[in-house]
Amino acid sequence: MQVDLCVARFFYDRYIPFNCANSIYYQQMIDAIASIGFGYKGPSYNDLRVKLLGEVKNKVKLLTDSYRNVWKEIGCTIMGGGWTDGRHRSLINFLIYYPKGISFIKSVDASNFVADAQALCNLFVEIVDMVGAKNVVHLITDNGSNYKATGRLLNEKYGNICWSPCAAHSLNLIMQDIGKVPHIVSLAQHASKVTVFVYNHKWTLGWLRRRTGWTEILHLGETRFATTFIALKSLYDHKLDLQAMVISPEFNGWRPSRSSKGKAVKEVILDSKFWNDCLVIVKIVAPLLRLLRIVDSDEKPALGYVYEGIYRAKKAIKESFKNKKRLYVPYTGIVKERSNHQLRKSIHAAAYWLNRAFQYDQNNFCQKPKVMVSLLEVIESKITGANKTMLLDETRIFRDREKGFRRELALPNSKTTR
């Protein structure tokens, strides 16, 4: 269609990313233009950058202001995410999270005081006052010592606010530490040799791509999203294809297969110990990767899954080594060290206790006293007056599945509803 070509040329001419067509406003824009009919003139450059931008900004502000009633009713979480831009400025984005979604508040250039905890605290106080101190329940920041100090200062100033580090960042640090274990470093190096050899030669890549059901091997790399372990899993999934290739007459008759690199790669691919080690490592980090996907997505509130996720990770590591302490301690020690300092806050345990998916799963629910103690600590420190007694009574009703919690739909839906 001629209209489609016109739209496509606009994208191509201005180098507009194709995923812009997935915007919820894309079809709305086209429908609005079509409804006006022939002769419509689009907004000018100046209209887009001044007049219309101001109008949209005002509408967004009205929408954000309407959220304040929700924050007042159920509370909210302030998230301060630090990052460095192309000009090496230390910027902090402030976001408000609540069950209905996430709202952007503002972005601040903190280059001149990012290392000063008191100055950071003053900045966060400004944001808290903007949102309303009584409306803020939780504060999430990076793991840096400056942010930890800021969290403590804010907790002293506002008794109702809990601080905790970003769970996704903490999990990446755990996997970074695991990735530094000498055995895993060596394993990753061997895996990298295989991947690089395959992708550096057209013959090997062509042979593998002709295999039924072939998918590309993910490359190993040091990133914050633990791609080293994801790549090891990807390589392990291609074990049979790779082994079939190196024992084939075509491969052995191919000149590069007789080179030192070719022989080294063949030796790795046919080494059963290499593949067994890959499988063990994949099993070790699988629970951590699952938890990372949960806390790094916007599909559902993740706070109530952190405590249980760490518990499952340590349990899976022990089972992977058949509960032989001398084998699993180096790995569980890493998880324990990081999680105890970063992901074992009272608010995590309290959220775990209040998560119906775990509370009503009595076969697997953690009955350790410290879980209940954490819940009581949160209630005692954050709730005042007669509300404490009322809330404690409601927690008993929730725990014992009384009133509405005893209905037949309560348990089956506990793992699917928020």
DSSP 344-385: --HHHHHHHHT-HHHHT-TTT----HHHHHHHHHHHHHH--T
What's the pLDDT score for residue 156? 85
139 and 8 in a single domain? The answer is no
Tokens of 275: 């593949």
Number of domains in the chain: 3
148 and 173 in a single domain? The answer is no
156 and 184 in a single domain? The answer is no
267/152: higher pLDDT: 267
Question: Across residues 330-339, what is the average pLDDT?
Answer: 89
Which of these, 90, 82, 85, lies nearest to 112 by C-alpha position? 90
Q: What are phi and psi of 84, to 5 degrees?
A: -115, 125
Residue in the structure block whose two tokens are 């058949």:
322
24/114: higher pLDDT: 24
Q: What is the largest CA-CA distance in the chain?
A: 83
Q: Is residue 418 part of a domain?
A: no
Q: Is residue 279 part of a domain?
A: yes
What is the pLDDT confidence band of residue 12, given thresholds at 50, 70 and 90?
very high
Which of these, 164, 150, 218, lies nearest to 188 by C-alpha position? 218
Question: Across residues 387-397, what is the average pLDDT?
Answer: 80
213 and 223 in a single domain? The answer is yes
CB 262 within 8 A of CB 256: yes
What's the pLDDT score for residue 413? 55
CB 143 within 8 A of CB 170: yes
Consecutive H or E run containing 141: strand 136-141
Question: Across residues 347-376, what is the average pLDDT?
Answer: 83
Question: Across residues 372-394, what is the average pLDDT?
Answer: 78
Q: Is residue 273 part of a domain?
A: yes
Q: Is the pLDDT of residue 21 over 80?
A: yes
Q: Is residue 96 part of a domain?
A: yes
Tokens of 217: 């091997």
291 and 235 in a single domain? The answer is yes
The beta strand positions in 20-98, using DSSP E, are 76-84, 90-98
312/28: higher pLDDT: 28
Q: Is the pLDDT of residue 407 over 70?
A: no
273 and 315 in a single domain? The answer is yes
195 and 333 in a single domain? The answer is yes
Q: Is residue 392 part of a domain?
A: no
Q: Work out the percent of the chain whose per-residue pLDDT is above 70.
A: 93
Q: What are phi and psi of 187, to 5 degrees?
A: -65, -45
In sequence order, what are the residues at sequence separation of 6 or more whose Cβ sits closer than 8 angstroms to the Cβ of residue 224?
169, 172
Q: Is residue 395 part of a domain?
A: no
Q: Are strands 76-84 and 90-98 parallel, antiparallel or unpaired?
A: antiparallel
Give the residue numbers spanning the domain of 78: 62-165
Q: Is residue 397 part of a domain?
A: no
223 and 324 in a single domain? The answer is yes
207 and 314 in a single domain? The answer is yes
Radius of gyration of the chain (CA): 27
Q: Is the pLDDT of residue 131 over 80?
A: yes
Our CA dihedral for 215, 217, 223, 225, rounded to 10 degrees, sits at: 40
Question: Across residues 61-68, what is the average pLDDT?
Answer: 82
What's the pLDDT score for residue 312? 86
Which of these, 272, 270, 218, 264, lies nearest to 246 by C-alpha position? 270
pTM of the model: 0.76
CB 84 within 8 A of CB 90: yes
What is the pLDDT confidence band of residue 250, given thresholds at 50, 70 and 90?
very high
What's the pLDDT score for residue 47? 94
Q: Is the pLDDT of residue 248 over 90?
A: yes
Which of these, 96, 70, 95, 99, lies nearest to 301 by C-alpha position? 99
80 beta partners: 94
85 and 231 in a single domain? The answer is no
| Last residue of one domain, picked from the residues 293, 325, 344 | 344
Which of these, 315, 309, 311, 313, lies nearest to 294 by C-alpha position? 309
102/242: higher pLDDT: 242
What's the pLDDT score for residue 224? 55
Q: Is the pLDDT of residue 384 over 80?
A: no
What is the pLDDT confidence band of residue 51, given thresholds at 50, 70 and 90?
very high
What is the pLDDT confidence band of residue 412, given thresholds at 50, 70 and 90?
low
189 and 327 in a single domain? The answer is yes
3-state secondary structure of 59: helix
Q: Is residue 402 part of a domain?
A: no
Q: Are strands 90-98 and 101-109 parallel, antiparallel or unpaired?
A: antiparallel
Which amino acid is it at 53?
L
Rounded-to-integer distance, Cα 226 and Cα 213, Å = 25
Rounded-to-integer distance, Cα 96 and Cα 76, Å = 7
Rounded-to-integer distance, Cα 168 and Cα 344, Å = 14
Question: Across residues 380-388, what is the average pLDDT?
Answer: 73
What's the pLDDT score for residue 404? 65
Count of helices and strands (H, E) across the chain: 20, 5
Burial of 227 (0-12, 13-18, 19+ CB in 10 A): middle
Q: What are phi and psi of 136, to 5 degrees?
A: -95, 125
Rounded-to-integer distance, Cα 105 and Cα 61, Å = 10
- Taking only the tens place, the pLDDT of each residue in 336-353 is 888 887 777 788 888 888
DSSP conformational letter for 192: H
| Last residue of one domain, picked from the residues 344, 369, 400 | 344
31 and 112 in a single domain? The answer is no
